[in-house]
Structures are given as structure tokens and as C-alpha cells.
Structure 1
Amino acid sequence: MSNPDSQQPPSALPPPPPLPPRSGCLTALMVLGGIIMLLPGLCALLFGGASVIDGGKIDSDIAPLVFLGLVVGIGGVVLIWAAIKGRKAPVHPGTQP
């Protein structure tokens, strides 16, 4: 009889091959693009803050631009975070991370 403890389950997959490392140039371009995307967010904070201080509320003409600038700035933060963190290998079912 065979020993069931010594056999691997039939659904076990071999570990995935390691991913090649990301190019340093690509990481630098992602960080640079993220920094450029932070500039509209900074302008949105400045103009939105100045509008609130002057009138007590954001002017209806500038509100969509402030919102758009904040969204682009948040996208820049996400891009920088993704560049620094890097990518992870996909986890296959049945394997331990």
C-alpha cells in the first residue's frame, strides 16, 4: 500500500518562475511622472484653500478644477507608490505566500 502522507495532492502546482526585475529606468520614469502629477494637486490645494479663505466656501466656477487637480494629484501618489513598491509574483492556488 502507498503512504498517503508522502504523496503530493494532484492539484498542487509547481512554484511559478520568478519574475524578471523591473528596469531601473522604468522605475525612474514612473517616479518622475508621479512627481509631475503631484503639481496639479498642489495647485488645487493652493487655489481651493485661497478660495475658502477669501469667501468662506469654494467658488462654483473653480470647484470642478480643484476636484480634478486633487484626483490627478492622488494618481501621482499612487504612481510613485507603485514604482517604489514594485511588482509581486502572482500567487497560485495551493501555494503558500
Structure 2
Amino acid sequence: MSDTPPPVLPAVPTPGEARSGCLTAFMVISGVILLLPGVCALLFGGMSVFEDGRIAADIAPLVFFGLVVGIGGVALIWAAIKGRKAPVHPGTQP
């Protein structure tokens, strides 16, 4: 028997840790598309407020729905950018 230690194998990334760049790009593009209804909701809701001084009852649900979809787009972009982790190589410190 020799005194050499066994070889160190590289760390295998878990499925939740590694994400492809294509998926990240798809998430960002989808998030930008989802921002468009939010921008329209802000535009039409703002125009309605400046015209009448209050949001008209017939447009209020659409403005709310557009804002919720826009917030979903922001959350999707945030998850795409913050969720991507750089791989950790053995022997390096994070």
C-alpha cells in the first residue's frame, strides 16, 4: 500500500444549482414581455386619474390586472438574474 491519498473528484452540481444560459435569457425576455401590460396599466390609469381626478370604475380592474402582470414580469426578471449561480470549483473559496 502506498501513502498517496485517493484522488479528489470534482464537485457535481445539483440540478437546482446549475441553470443554462438559454433558460436565463428566455426568462428575461418573458419578463420584459410581461412588463408591457404593466406599462400600459400605468399609462392608462395615470391618464384616467389626470382626466377625472379618480380612476374610472370600468377601467380599474384592467389597471389592477395590468399592474399584477407587470409585477410578475419584474419578479421573473429578478429570479432570472439573481437565481443564476456561478459554479464553484474545488480548491477555490467562494
Determine the structure 1 residue equivalent to 2:59: 62
Partner of residue 11, structure 1: none
**Alignment partner of 2:76 out of 75, 79, 95:** 79
| Alignment RMSD (CA, Å) | 1.7
Preserved contact between residue 24 and residue 84 of structure 2 (Cα < 8 Å): no
**What is the count of residue pairs matched by the alignment?**
73
TM-score (norm 1): 0.70
- Deviation per residue, 1:33-88 (Å, 9 max, x gap): 00000000000000000000000000000000000000000000000000001167
Alpha-carbon separation, structure 2, partners of 1:29 and 1:52: 35
Residue 57 to residue 45, structure 1, CA distance change in 2 (3 Å): same
- Structure 1 spans left out of the alignment, 5+ residues: 1-16, 89-97
**Which residue number in structure 1 is paired with residue 44 of structure 2?**
47
1:4 corresponding residue in structure 2? none
Matching residue of 2:34: 37
Give distance in 2, aligned partners of 1:60 and 1:27. 39
| Structure 2: gaps (5+ residues) | 1-11, 86-94
Q: Once the two structures are aligned, what percentage of the paired residues are identical?
A: 75
Report how far residue 26 of structure 1 moved.
Answer: 0.3
Cα displacement (A) at 1:18: 3.3
